[in-house]
Amino acid sequence: MTLTLSLKQSKLRGWPGLLEAYRSYLPVTEETPVVTLQEGNTPLVPVPSIAHQVGREVEVFVKSDGLNPTGSFKDRGMTLAISKAKEAGAKAVICASTGNTSASAAAYARRAGMGAFVLIPDGYVALGKLAQALLYGAEVLAIKGNFDQALEIVRDVADKYPVTLVNSVNPYRLEGQKTGAFEVVDTLGDAPDWLCVPVGNGGNVTAYWMGFCQYHQAGKCDRLPKMMGFQAAGAAPIVKGHPIATPETVASAIRIGNPASWGKAVAAQQASQGSFTAVSDKEILEAYRLLASNEGIFCEPASAASVAGLLKVKDQVPTGAKIVCVLTGHGLKDPDVAIKHSHNNQFQQGIEPTVDAVAAVMGF
For residue 77, state whether it binds ligand AN7 (rule: CB under 6 A): no
CB of 265 to ligand AN7, least distance (A): 7
Residue closer to ligand AN7 by CB (options 42, 101) is 101
The span of 32-40, 93-101, 208-216, 313-321 binding ligand AN7 (CB under 6 A) equals: 93-101
List strands edge to edge, sheet with 164-165. 139-143, 115-121, 92-96, 164-165
What are the angstrom distances between the C-alpha of 7 and each of 13, 15, 48, 281?
A: 10, 14, 36, 49
Task: Give the residue with the Cβ less far from ligand AN7, 36 or 206.
Answer: 206
Angle subtended by helix axes 179-188 and 203-217, to nearest 10: 50
Q: Which of 26, 227, 254, 324 binds ligand AN7 (CB under 6 A)?
A: 254
- Pair type for strands 275-279 and 226-232: parallel
Strands (E), the chain: 44-46, 59-64, 92-96, 115-121, 139-143, 164-165, 194-198, 226-232, 275-279, 322-327
Nearer to ligand AN7, 86 or 264 (CB): 264
Q: Does 278 help bind ligand AN7 (rule: CB under 6 A)?
A: no
Q: 16-55: buried (b, 16+ CB within 10 Å) or exposed (e) per residue?
A: ebbbebbeebbebeeebebbbbbbbbbeeeebeebbebbe
The answer to whether residue 331 forms part of the interface with ligand AN7 (CB under 6 A) is no
Residue from 81, 109, 302, 311 that binds ligand AN7 (CB under 6 A)? 302
Q: Residue 253: left if φ>0, alpha if ψ -120 to 50, beta else—which one?
A: alpha
Binding status of residue 237 toward ligand AN7 by CB under 6 A: no
Q: Answer yes or no whether residue 79 interacts with ligand AN7 by CB under 6 A.
A: no
Stretch that binds ligand AN7, among 29-37, 182-190, 298-306, 352-360 (CB under 6 A): 298-306
Cα separations in angstroms, 218 against 13, 80, 185, 242, 283: 28, 21, 12, 37, 38
Q: Which residues are CB-contacts of 123 (< 8 A; sequence separation ≥ 6)? A: 142
Single residue of 192, 200, 225, 257 touching ligand AN7 by CB under 6 A = 200
Residue with Cβ nearer ligand AN7 (19 or 299): 299
Please, which residue, 47 or 125, has the CB nearer to ligand AN7? 125
Q: Judged by CB under 6 A, which of 79, 83, 100, 269 binds ligand AN7?
A: 100
3-state secondary structure of 151: helix
Rounded Cα distance, 223 and 123, in Å: 43
Closer to ligand AN7 by Cβ: residue 16 or 262: 262
Q: Is 231 in the site for ligand AN7 (CB under 6 A)?
A: no
41 Rama sector, left if φ>0, alpha if ψ -120 to 50, beta otherwise:
left
Task: Compute the radius of gyration of the chain from its Cα atoms.
Answer: 21
CB of 101 or CB of 258, closer to ligand AN7: 101
- Residue 113 Cβ, how far from ligand AN7 at the closest point, in Å? 23
Helix, strand, or coil (residue 291):
helix
Piece in contact with ligand AN7 (CB under 6 A), picked from 132-140, 197-205, 290-298, 341-349? 197-205
Pick from 191, 253, 278, 285 the residue near ligand AN7 by CB under 6 A.
Answer: 253
| Closest distance of CB 101 from ligand AN7, Å | 3
**Residues 137-196 within binding reach of ligand AN7 (CB under 6 A):** none
Apex 346 CA angle, 344 and 351, nearest 5: 105
Q: Which stretch binds ligand AN7 (CB under 6 A): 26-34, 45-53, 153-161, 201-209?
A: 201-209
How many residues comprise the chain?
Answer: 364
Contact with ligand AN7 (CB under 6 A): which of 17, 40, 121, 202?
A: 202
Count residues near ligand AN7 (CB under 6 A).
20
Q: How far apart are CA 143 and CA 316, in angstroms?
A: 42
Neighbours of 338 (CB within 10 A): 17
- If the CB atoms of residues 200 and 211 are measured against ligand AN7, the closer one turns out to be 200
Q: Which residues bind ligand AN7 (CB under 6 A)?
A: 72, 97-101, 198-204, 253-254, 300, 302-303, 328-329
